Structure 1
Amino acid sequence: MNAPNTVNLVTQLDYARAGVITDAMRAVAEREHRDPEFIRAGVAAGRIAIPANIRHLDMGLEPRGVGAGLSTKVNVNLGISGDVADADVEWEKVRTAEKFGADAIMDLSNSGKTRFFRQQLVRETPLMVGTVPMYDAIGYMEKPLVELTVDDLLEVTRAHAEDGVDFLTIHCGINKSVIKTFKETGRLMNIVSRGGSLLFGWMEVTGNENPFFEYYDEILKICHEYDVTISLGDSCRPGCLYDANDAVETAEMIELGKLTKRAWDAGVQVMIEGPGHMPINEIEANVRMEKSLCHNAPYYVLGPLVTDIGVGYDHITAAIGGAISASAGADFLCYVTPAEHLCLPNAQDVLDGLIATKIAAHAADIAKGVPGAKDIDNRMGDARRRLAWNEMWTYALDPVTSKARYEASPASTEGTCTMCGKMCAVRTVNKVFEGTTIDLDAQGNTD
């Protein structure tokens, strides 16, 4: 059999369809405990995406796969805003994301000149990097929103691709047809996507079609040139439970399904973005709808938040929804922090949100039967049986916090904690098996 002609192959999708297993596919296979052919076949079918800009690969990206049969990935959002613009704090968030096991970082900076930070981020982090060009357009072009042209938006998109960004959130699905549905059916929270709201405003003022939809083929050419995965943004995601799975969200997802096929035809990898806020009992149906309408493309969800009243604790409401969503087939969870709906998160918020989302993702991986997912839990159980505390820290998602809490409240009996002390069930059973009889008096003291 002749070797495939690789001269015109650029993207992971190009190579996969040609039957070629790339270094990135091998790296993903090793990380996921899968056969490389499993990864190649998944990429070729669009069930798996490997967001890996060719420039970021050259700078040290550690490729990760997102999709069916793989571990659930977790993204951390960060970036400056117009009110809080402290680059040092954002770099602290980057280091937190790297240290505690994030798979991706999205730079959502939306004020001023953001390119230097973005370029440095791509150079320095081995994690996948995502951005939203629409957020950057006003500052990059130094123009008011309504004066932005199609050429301006294409230029900003190209700049992000050239900088090495691995996946771009592009709000292509909010076209005039979807807006017509939005206006006819109405919503409690209207449009809560920042990018979607900006495009809605631009379209209403100019009277023109969404440029990312109208010039989608041009966007795809840029993505293909650098192997940027297009993450089709959910402009009409529900911002409250009342709007979940409504007509406009569904109308946009139908459009995203059409755009998915067009991207694949152009050799571009795709992810689909999802909600948002959603009642627990509707989450599985939402995932099934995405997989059906969008041809099993990887699903990237924010939460979903399962109640609207968890303000200040939305990392918990999102982790509940994330675990359910991922166990039903979602592939990529965007973290939510305690600061959601309130303010720009600080470094501690980032840690809290990341760990909560990592717990959700791991719990879902166990439920989905991802190869090797439960192995570390079994090791933790064995370490707990042996009261091997230092070993336990190595298995904990957050070893720093867990060790600090344990050491802050020292037990008087060696090997136990202050919850049970000498009445520790694990210690008691271990002593019995060792042939030691333990007698406790009424105060719980041993003889």
Structure 2
Amino acid sequence: MNFTTQMDAARKGVITRELETVARKENMDVAALQQLVAEGKVVIPANKNHVSLEPCGIGRGLRTKINVNLGVSQDCCNVESEMAKARYAVELQADAIMDLSCYGKTAEFRRRLVEISPVPIGTVPVYDAVGYYDKELEEITAQEFLDVVETHARDGVDFMTIHAGINRETAVTFKKNPRLTNIVSRGGSLLYTWMELNDRENPFYEYYDDLLEICRRYDVTVSLGDACRPGSLKDATDASQVHELIILGELTRRAWERDVQVMIEGPGHMPLNEITANMVMEKKLCHGAPFYVLGPLVTDVAPGYDHITSAIGGAVAAAAGADFLCYVTPAEHLRLPTLEDMKEGIIASRIAAHAADIAKGVTGARQWDDDMSEARRNLDWPEMFRLAVDPDKAKRYRAESQPEHEDSCTMCGKMCAVRNMNRVLRG
């Protein structure tokens, strides 16, 4: 039977290779997963032209996934450096990579990334449009924006952030409700500026059906961008954010009518006590579509440590229903991250995602922790290292401070509770 997208196949009762692979990875019944994909509650980003892809699923009942951002910019335009980051991200078990390139040889970098990456690749076409056409933002036409989308789709990109929710109506709401940090989304600010300069509707909203046709043809998952995500605690859950979210819910239904898979992007910066309510609101307004959050960062005062502020918010968000966490590095708000920054961001996000999976009762999540606890009870250091989220760091810390007794560590030595209880219980 012919099908166009993973959603179309699921609705027609076709079990694709990608769906079978995801079901096996997630220890989920194939029929149950098929139903979730058909309903739009799970997405499998899998562009037909991404031949190196090892598909993963994002959404209800699945392990919380994490995404890594990278790419070339005008100030840092080293393609080989970013390719090294991509390889390292896969090695560190990132689930997806987003190419945010906005300058230089973006097409070359994107195609190489798709060629070597086993994980889904995402992009933000509006970033690329500015550099690709090499002309002023206001001079780019609606058709040219769509042409960039098709170029990315043809190159094999699996999901694209499309800021279609910031339409003229949302812009009015933004103007009537002043913010402390205005619009901090790069794509959102570009499109807001384009609308103001041209006195026209957002082309991604006005020509949304044309965009969906492109996505349907290549099976690109639309990641509906949150142009009005809060960039500070003060702006969280305000009129602009909520208004745009309502629009995104409407756009979700329109995409599903054309069998196009959809994710929803969310905040941003947000007080800890508002996160759970926001997750519930998003799922309700967007009909259960998978939710993809940047953080959220739970305080604004920790530059250099925002991988921690993000991990705190990410754990709460994912436990409350978010399905996909965009990593944040210690370099957030300061500079382009290094390889070491990237590692710290990935590890922090993986810990947050795993903590949330335990809370959500994801199949198999708790077993990892039980296995680690058994290794600790047995003082089995090699097994502890094998199970650690960062084995290299665990081994290094152990090697840097050797105990007198091998079955203890330098924290407690002979007073180690585990060591002593093992000896007493063994008689």
Q: TM-score, normalised by structure 1?
A: 0.94
SS of aligned partner of 1:267: coil
1:15 aligns with 2:17: no
> Which of 128, 136, 147 is the matching residue for 1:155?
147
Q: Quick one: distance in 2 between partners of 1:92 and 1:351?
A: 12
SS of aligned partner of 2:223: strand
Q: Residues 318-367 of structure 1, C-alpha deviation per residue, up to 9 Å, x if partnerless?
A: 10000000000000000000001111111111000010010000000000
The Cα of 1:60 is off from its aligned counterpart by 2.2
Q: How does 1:85-124 map to 2 (within 5 A)?
A: 85-124=77-116
Q: Residues 66-125 of structure 1, C-alpha deviation per residue, up to 9 Å, x if partnerless?
A: 101111000011111111122232122112211111100001111122011111111101
Q: Residues 142-189 of structure 1, C-alpha deviation per residue, up to 9 Å, x if partnerless?
A: 222111111211111001101111000000000000000000111111
> Which of 110, 120, 133 is the matching residue for 1:128?
120
Aligned partner letter, 2:47? N
What residue in structure 2 maps to residue 29 of structure 1? 23
Q: Residues 400-426 of structure 1, C-alpha deviation per residue, up to 9 Å, x if partnerless?
A: 111111112111211321111222111
Contact 2:298–2:313 (8 Å) recurs in 1: yes
Q: Residues 5-57 of structure 1, C-alpha deviation per residue, up to 9 Å, x if partnerless?
A: x23x110000011111111111111111100111100000010000111111x
What residue in structure 2 maps to residue 267 of structure 1? 259
Q: How does 1:38-187 map to 2 (within 5 A)?
A: 38-56=32-50, 59-187=51-179
Aligned partner letter, 2:21? A
> Which of 379, 384, 393 is the matching residue for 2:376?
384
Structure 2: gaps spanning 5 or more residues: none
SS of aligned partner of 1:281: helix
Q: How does 1:241-252 map to 2 (within 5 A)?
A: 241-252=233-244
The Cα of 1:392 is off from its aligned counterpart by 1.1
Aligned partner letter, 2:423? K
SS of aligned partner of 2:4: coil
Q: TM-score, normalised by structure 2?
A: 0.99
Identity across the alignment (%): 59
> Which of 311, 320, 335 is the matching residue for 2:312?
320
Q: Quick one: distance in 1 between partners of 2:211 and 2:409?
A: 57
Structure 1: gaps spanning 5 or more residues: 1-5, 436-447
Q: Quick one: distance in 2 between partners of 1:189 and 1:380?
A: 43
Q: Which moved more, 1:409-418 or 1:150-159?
A: 409-418
1:409 aligns with 2:401: yes
Aligned partner letter, 1:28? V
What residue in structure 1 maps to residue 359 of structure 2? 367
> Which of 168, 172, 191 is the matching residue for 1:199?
191
Q: If you compute each CA radius of gyration, which structure gives the higher value, 1 or 2?
A: 1
What residue in structure 2 maps to residue 277 of structure 1? 269
SS of aligned partner of 1:169: strand
Contact 1:100–1:397 (8 Å) recurs in 2: no
Q: Quick one: distance in 2 between partners of 1:416 and 1:160?
A: 54
SS of aligned partner of 2:423: helix
Contact 1:89–1:346 (8 Å) recurs in 2: no
Aligned partner letter, 1:96? Y
Q: Quick one: distance in 2 between partners of 1:113 and 1:202?
A: 24
Q: Which moved more, 1:213-222 or 1:421-430?
A: 421-430
SS of aligned partner of 2:49: helix
> Which of 386, 391, 394 is the matching residue for 1:399?
391
Q: Which moved more, 1:389-398 or 1:265-274?
A: 389-398
What residue in structure 2 maps to residue 305 of structure 1? 297
Q: Quick one: distance in 1 between partners of 2:144 and 2:312?
A: 40
SS of aligned partner of 2:264: strand
SS of aligned partner of 1:152: helix
Contact 1:51–1:65 (8 Å) recurs in 2: yes
Q: Quick one: distance in 1 between partners of 2:359 and 2:236?
A: 25
Q: Quick one: distance in 2 between partners of 1:316 and 1:202?
A: 35
Contact 2:216–2:260 (8 Å) recurs in 1: yes
Q: Quick one: distance in 1 between partners of 2:414 and 2:323?
A: 44
Aligned partner letter, 1:150? A
Contact 1:80–1:86 (8 Å) recurs in 2: yes
